[in-house]
Amino acid sequence: LRKQDPRSFSVFERAVERAISHIQPSLPPTFVARFHDEAAVRRMQYRRLGQTEMIVSKISFGSAPISGMFGNVDDSITQIVEAALRNGINFIDTAYWYGHARSESILGKVLSKIPRKAYYISTKLDYARTFDFRADKVLESLMNSLKRLKLTYVDICFIQIHDADFAPQQSIILYETLQALEMARDSGKIRYIGLTGYELRKLASIIDCSAVKIDVVLTYCHGSMNDNSLGNFTYLLQKKNIGVLNGSPLSMGLLTERGPPPWHPAADFIKEACLAATHYCISKKVSISKLALSYAFEVPGTASCVVGMDNLQQVRDNIALATATSPLTDVEQRVRDRIMRRYFDRLENAGWGGVDVVTYWKRLKKLGLTALATHRHSSVESLSSTLNGLSIRSSSNSSDLRTARRARHF
């Protein structure tokens, strides 16, 4: 994986990307006259996702929260999803693991009342046994997802690449999983094949070795204020014409006033830096989540930012931020610059890939999360991805994980 300092993106490159993103020569292919609010759709920015035919909105709808994974959903889920789609969001991301099929099942009911042309949708494979990549299980998983979603096809089917014992799985992924998805693509059950996961190097390894065309990558927690290492990865993906989706801009709750959930695998020093930055924002009467979202929307080389939403006000606020000409006030911009310099630059993109799994499971038991701690065949990345939906509901807890970090600003 070639390293590229995110600072190396020139002022000219960033200016060109912003200028292009603001040019709206026509309405997106997903526009439906009697369904959409045309004025809202015209305010939204849309970008082509790699070499696909998908022209996706700047912000995408992450559906993990509507499954109830992080607490009760107070507003009508139908109203939440419809509000997002009517006002310009045209991409929905779901997965079996979001509430163990609950997200897919809910969307199946809600989307049955919405024109299929009005949205793109992706899902991720589930497995009879955790991360069973065999071809027959892959196709069975896909058909089950389509049944729950009440759809004849999905636009993208993602393979989740984050098992701790990665090396033995790689050959199965290359010679069974991807081959099975290519069959599904040829038969019209999916339009595009995607990879998703936390470890960027694992994704790069699959991409480099695959004989099957990978169309899209969804990665999370690497295009955020505390870790922008995605900037190094987009160079590789752009060379291969692979579309990039930026997930978890709030770093699974680190960049929120509520803080991360107890199972969050980040090291103490990462949590402490994020907590200090949050306190500084509070002292200035600024929302750190708003700063984090605005930052994630600007990551060069990404087509869309996937944001979990579970109430109408979140939908309205997030769309307003994504479509604003000047999303931050002068005060907010100064605060964001300050916390980047004071707290996040010194982290040097530290993450939690490759942590000690046994120690992590013991820590979960101490936190009282016995049910989670029994699944020892899963990796740290597996659990965090399974529970990932931009949770903003729990408080910070201890961990002592450390990995190397790299450069910061765009």
Cβ proximity of 193 and 187 under 8 Å: no
Domain-located, residue 41: yes
**β-pairing, 216-220 with 243-247?**
parallel
DSSP-derived pairing of the beta strands 55-57 and 59-62: unpaired
Task: Give the model's pLDDT for residue 276.
Answer: 98
Nearest to 121 by CA among 158, 88, 86, 147: 158
pLDDT, tens digit, 9 for 90 and up, residues 73-112: 556 999 999 999 999 999 999 998 887 888 999 999 999 9
Q: Is 119 a catalytic residue?
A: no
How many domains does the structure of the chain reveal?
A: 1
- Output the domain CATH number for residue 127: 3.20.20.100
Q: What is the mean pLDDT of residues 219-246?
A: 94
Q: Which of 368, 356, 358, 362 is nearest to 394 (CA)?
A: 368
- Residues 304-321: pLDDT tens digits? 999 999 899 999 999 999
Domain contains 194: yes
Whole-number CA gyration radius for the chain? 20
- Please report whether residue 153 resides in a domain: yes
The pLDDT value recorded for residue 404 is: 31
Q: Calculate the alpha carbon distances from 184 to 136, 233, 237, 240 in Å.
A: 12, 28, 23, 22
Crossing angle of the two packed helices 102-111 and 77-86, in degrees rounded to 10:
60
Does residue 352 fall inside a structural domain?
Answer: no
Distance between CA atoms of residues 386 and 321, nearest Å: 27
Residue 403 counted as domain residue: no
Tell me the pLDDT band of 8, cut-offs 50, 70 and 90: very low
DSSP state letters, 236-279: HHHHTT-EEEEE-TTTTTTTSSS---TT----HHHHHHHHHHHH
Which are the contacts of 266, defined by CB distance < 8 A and separation ≥ 6? Answer: 251, 254, 260, 274, 351, 352, 399, 401
Q: Is the per-residue pLDDT at 398 higher than 50?
A: no
Q: Which residues, at least 6 apart from 220, have a Cβ–Cβ distance to it below 8 Å?
A: 196, 198, 246, 247, 248, 252, 306, 385, 388
Does any domain span residue 400? no
Residue 158 placed within a domain: yes
59, containing H or E segment: strand 59-62
* 3-class state of residue 42 by DSSP: helix
Per-residue pLDDT, averaged over 238-266, amounts to 93
Range list of β-strands (E), 154-312? 154-160, 190-197, 216-220, 243-247, 304-308
Q: Which residues contact 378 (CB under 8 A, 6 or more apart)?
A: 130, 131, 163, 164, 386
pLDDT over 50 at 397, yes or no: no
CA–CA distance, 123 with 66 (Å, rounded to integer): 15
Give the integer Cα–Cα distance in Å for 342 and 340.
6
Asked if the model's pLDDT at residue 390 lies above 60, the reply is no
Active-site residue, selected from the candidate residues 98, 119, 220, 295? 98
Q: What percent of the chain has pLDDT over 90?
A: 63
For 112-166, write each residue's pLDDT tens digit.
999 999 999 999 986 544 557 788 888 999 999 999 999 999 999 999 886 544 5
**Model confidence pTM above 0.85:** no
Whole-angstrom Cα distance, residue 81 to residue 113?
11
Q: How far apart are the first and last CA of the chain?
A: 19
Is 245 contained in some domain?
yes
Token digits for 149? 């979603």
Domain enclosing residue 139, as ranges: 6-252+289-329
